[in-house]
C-alpha cells in the first residue's frame, strides 16, 4: 500500500514539474529534437522559479521543506530561483485539535491528566508539526506535536523524489547533477531526523549544556517526562523576532552586538562543540530586552567531525590572513572545490567574496569581470557541496544574512578573526606552519644529497642514447578535441572555398551550388565551435546593496557575490515563539 502511494505521488510530482523539465529541455535543444542551445534570460529564470514555487506549495509539506532547503543551495539553483524560494513560508493550517489530541494521548496519556492546563489553539502551525502552550507545575511550556499521518506522506514523497532524480539530472549540468544527488540523500536524512522529537530533545539538551556559562545565549529546557518521539515539551520563552529591527531599535537593543553574539555562538558550535543548531532563520531566533538571543526549534541540527572542524579552522585562518592559497587548499581538502579548478579564477572569486564579507563596497564592473572569467572557463563551475557540509553551509549563509539584516555594516570576517585569535587557533596555525617549514627544509636537504647520483645516471643514458620519456596528457575538459575539431574544419573550409569558386567559374552551377552549401555548413560548424560556451551562466546578486535599496538607500555601488541565506523574510511580527 505504501509503495502504491509512492507511485501515485511520483506521477503527481512528474506532472507538476513537467513544465520546468520541458523548458530545461528546450534550453539545450531549441526545437527539442534538434537545434542549438538557446539563451536563457534572467526574466525567464524568474518565471520558472515562480512555477517551481507553485509546484512545491501544491505538492504539500514534504516539498515545502525541500523548497526551503533548495533556497539555501546556490550550487543547485540560479540566483533568481534562490530569491523566489526564499519567500517560501513553512506555514500551513494546523491539523484539527482532535487529531493532535490523539497523538498526545497515544504518547503521554489524557491531556487533562498530564498537563495542569492546555490551550487547544495552536500558536504555530508548520508542515511537520504544530505548537501549543500548556502549564506544568506552574510553569508555562510549549508542546510541539508531530502532525498526524505525516510519516507515511513523507516516506511516499521521499521515494518519489528518489525516483525523480535520475530524470531531473538529465536536464542539468554535471555540477548540478552532483549536488542534486547529494541533496536527495541529505534531505531524506534531515527530514527524518526533524520528525524524531526524541532526537531533537537530545540535541537541544546537549547544545544547551555547551552554553550553560553563556548568559547571552538562552535555550529552552526540555521536560523529558512530558516528551516522546512525537511530542516534545519544553520551556516557553518569549522574545522579539530577530529580524524585527524596528522593535529592537525601540527597545534600545544593540543590534551590532546581537550580530556579534550570534556569529560567535555559531563559531563555537561548529568549530569547538561539533554539534550545532542548523536552522537559524529569523522565525527560530528571538532577542530579549537585555540583548540575549533565544534559540528555538532544534529539529534541524547536525554534527561536525573533527576533520571538517580542522579544515574549517584552516579556511577561517586563511580568510583572516587573506591567504588565498590556504583558502583554496582548505576548500579542496573539504571536497567543496574541484582539484581541477582554475586557481587564478577562483582566487579572484575568493578575493571578491572576502571584500563583501567585510562589508566593503565593490564596483559592479569588478563583479562582472570576474563572472566573465568564470563563464569563459571551459569547465563547469567547480564548486561542489558534499553532504557532510550542506548543513554547515546553510548555517553560515543564513547566519550572515541575519547579521547583515541587523547591521548592514557588520564585518563577518573581523568577528571571526577575533574569535580565532582569542581561542588560540591563529597561533596554532603559525606553529604548524613553522613545523611544516622545518620538515620541508629537512626534505630539501635530503634531496640535495640524492639528486647528483640520479642526475649522473640520467646523463649516462643520454650519452648512450638510451633515454626514453613517457608522458600522459590529461584532457578531461576535451580542450585538445575542441582544437582538433577547429583545425580539421578550418582545413576543410580552406579547401572547399576555392573549390566552390572554381566550379562556379567553370559554369558548373549545380556542382557549385552543392559545394557552396557544403562550404556554408562547414563554416557554420566552425563558427559554432568558437561560440559554444560551457561555463557557468550567472548574474551577480548584490546582497548588501540590495539590502540598502530595500531600506531606501539606493545604489551606492556596493555589491556582493551571490549567497543564499541573505534573503531574509521581513515579517511585521513582534514576537517569536517555539515553533517548527
In 262-328, which ranges are E strands?
275-277, 285-287, 293-295, 301-303
What is d(CA 97, CA 314) in angstroms, rounded to the nearest whole number?
Answer: 51
What is d(CA 222, CA 236) in angstroms, rounded to the nearest whole number?
Answer: 10
What is d(CA 253, CA 248) in angstroms, rounded to the nearest whole number?
Answer: 5
For 283, the grid coordinates are 522565525
For 400, the grid coordinates are 550572515
Residue with cell 515563539: 577
For 37, the grid coordinates are 542551445
Q: What is the DSSP string of 476-487?
A: TT-HHHHHHHHH
Closest CA to 541 of 24, 81, 54, 49: 81
What is d(CA 422, CA 429) in angstroms, rounded to the nearest whole number?
Answer: 13
What is d(CA 392, CA 376) in angstroms, rounded to the nearest whole number?
Answer: 30
* Residues 186/135, Cβ–Cβ less than 8 Å: no
What is d(CA 210, CA 229) in angstroms, rounded to the nearest whole number?
Answer: 23
What is d(CA 518, CA 270) in angstroms, rounded to the nearest whole number?
Answer: 63
List, in sequence order, the alpha helices (H) in 89-218: 97-107, 111-114, 150-168, 174-195, 197-210
The yes-or-no answer on residue 279 being catalytic is yes
Give the three-state DSSP class for 303.
strand
| Residue of 90, 157, 244, 279 with catalytic role | 279
Catalytic residues: 279
Amino acid at each position: 500500500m505504501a509503495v502504491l502511494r509512492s507511485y501515485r505521488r511520483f506521477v503527481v510530482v512528474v506532472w507538476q514539474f513537467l513544465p520546468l523539465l520541458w523548458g530545461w529541455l528546450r534550453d539545450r535543444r531549441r526545437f527539442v529534437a534538434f537545434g542549438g542551445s538557446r539563451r536563457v534570460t534572467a526574466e525567464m529564470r524568474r518565471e520558472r522559479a515562480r512555477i517551481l514555487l507553485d509546484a512545491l506549495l501544491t505538492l504539500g509539506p514534504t516539498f515545502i521543506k525541500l523548497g526551503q532547503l533548495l533556497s539555501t543551495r546556490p550550487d543547485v539553483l540560479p540566483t533568481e530561483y534562490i530569491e523566489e524560494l526564499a519567500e517560501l513560508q513553512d506555514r500551513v493550517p494546523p491539523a484539527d485539535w482532535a487529531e493532535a489530541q490523539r497523538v498526545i494521548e497515544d504518547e503521554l496519556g489524557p491531556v487533562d491528566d498530564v498537563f495542569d492546563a492546555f490551550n487547544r489553539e495552536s500558536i504555530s502551525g508548520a508542515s511537520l508539526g504544530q505548537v501549543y502552550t500548556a502549564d506544568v507545575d506552574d510553569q508555562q511550556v510549549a508542546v510541539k506535536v508531530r502532525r498526524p499521518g505525516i510519516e507515511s506522506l513523507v516516506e511516499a514523497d521521499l521515494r518519489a523524489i528518489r525516483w525523480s532524480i535520475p530524470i531531473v539530472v538529465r536536464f542539468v549540468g554535471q555540477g548540478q547533477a552532483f549536488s542534486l544527488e547529494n541533496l536527495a540523500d541529505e534531505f531524506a536524512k534531515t527530514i527524518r531526523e526533524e520528525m524524531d522529537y526524541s532526537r531533537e530533545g537530545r540535541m537541544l539538551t546537549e547544545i544547551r549544556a555547551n552554553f550553560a556559562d553563556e548568559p547571552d545565549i538562552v535555550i529552552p529546557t526540555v521536560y523529558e517526562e512530558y516528551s516522546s518521539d512525537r511530542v516534545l515539551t519544553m520551556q516557553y520563552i518569549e522574545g522579539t523576532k530577530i529580524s524585527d529591527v524596528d522593535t529592537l531599535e525601540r527597545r534600545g537593543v544593540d543590534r551590532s552586538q546581537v550580530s556579534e553574539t550570534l556569529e560567535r555562538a555559531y563559531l563555537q558550535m561548529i568549530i569547538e562543540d561539533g554539534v550545532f543548531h542548523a536552522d537559524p532563520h529569523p522565525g527560530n531566533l528571538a532577542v530579549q530586552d537585555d540583548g540575549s538571543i533565544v534559540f528555538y526549534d532544534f529539529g534541524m541540527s547536525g554534527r561536525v567531525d573533527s576533520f571538517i572542524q580542522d579544515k574549517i579552522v584552516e579556511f577561517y585562518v586563511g580568510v583572516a590572513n587573506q591567504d588565498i592559497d590556504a583558502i583554496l587548499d582548505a576548500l579542496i581538502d573539504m571536497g567543496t572545490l574541484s582539484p581541477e579548478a582554475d586557481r587564478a579564477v577562483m582566487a579572484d572569486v575568493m578575493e571578491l567574496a572576502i571584500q563583501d564579507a567585510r562589508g566593503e563596497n565593490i564596483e559592479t564592473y569588478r563583479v562582472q569581470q570576474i563572472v566573465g572569467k568564470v563563464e569563459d572557463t571551459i569547465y563547469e563551475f567547480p564548486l561542489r557541496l558534499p553532504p557532510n557540509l550542506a548543513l554547515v553551509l546553510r548555517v553560515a549563509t543564513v547566519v550572515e544574512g541575519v547579521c547583515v539584516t541587523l547591521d548592514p555594516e557588520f564585518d563577518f570576517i573581523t568577528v571571526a578573526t577575533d574569535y580565532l585569535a582569542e581561542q588560540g587557533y591563529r597561533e596554532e596555525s603559525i606553529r604548524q606552519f613553522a613545523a611544516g617549514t622545518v620538515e620541508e627544509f629537512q626534505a630539501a636537504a635530503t634531496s640535495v644529497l640524492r639528486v647528483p647520483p640520479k642526475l649522473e645516471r640520467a646523463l649516462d643514458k643520454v650519452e648512450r642514447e638510451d633515454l626514453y620519456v613517457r608522458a600522459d596528457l590529461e584532457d578531461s575538459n576535451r580542450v585538445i578535441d575542441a582544437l582538433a575539431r577547429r583545425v580539421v574544419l578550418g582545413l576543410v573550409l580552406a579547401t572547399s572555398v576555392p573549390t566552390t569558386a572554381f566550379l562556379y567559374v567553370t559554369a558548373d552551377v549545380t556542382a557549385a551550388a552543392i559545394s557552396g552549401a557544403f562550404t556554408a555548413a562547414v563554416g557554420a560548424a566552425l563558427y559554432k565551435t568558437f561560440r559554444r560556451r560551457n561555463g557557468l551562466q550567472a548574474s551577480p546578486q548584490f546582497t548588501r546593496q540590495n539590502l540598502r535599496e530595500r531600506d531606501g538607500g539606493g545604489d551606492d555601488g556596493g555589491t556582493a557575490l551571490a549567497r543564499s541565506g541573505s534573503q531574509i523574510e521581513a515579517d511585521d511580527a513582534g514576537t517569536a515563539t517555539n515553533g517548527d
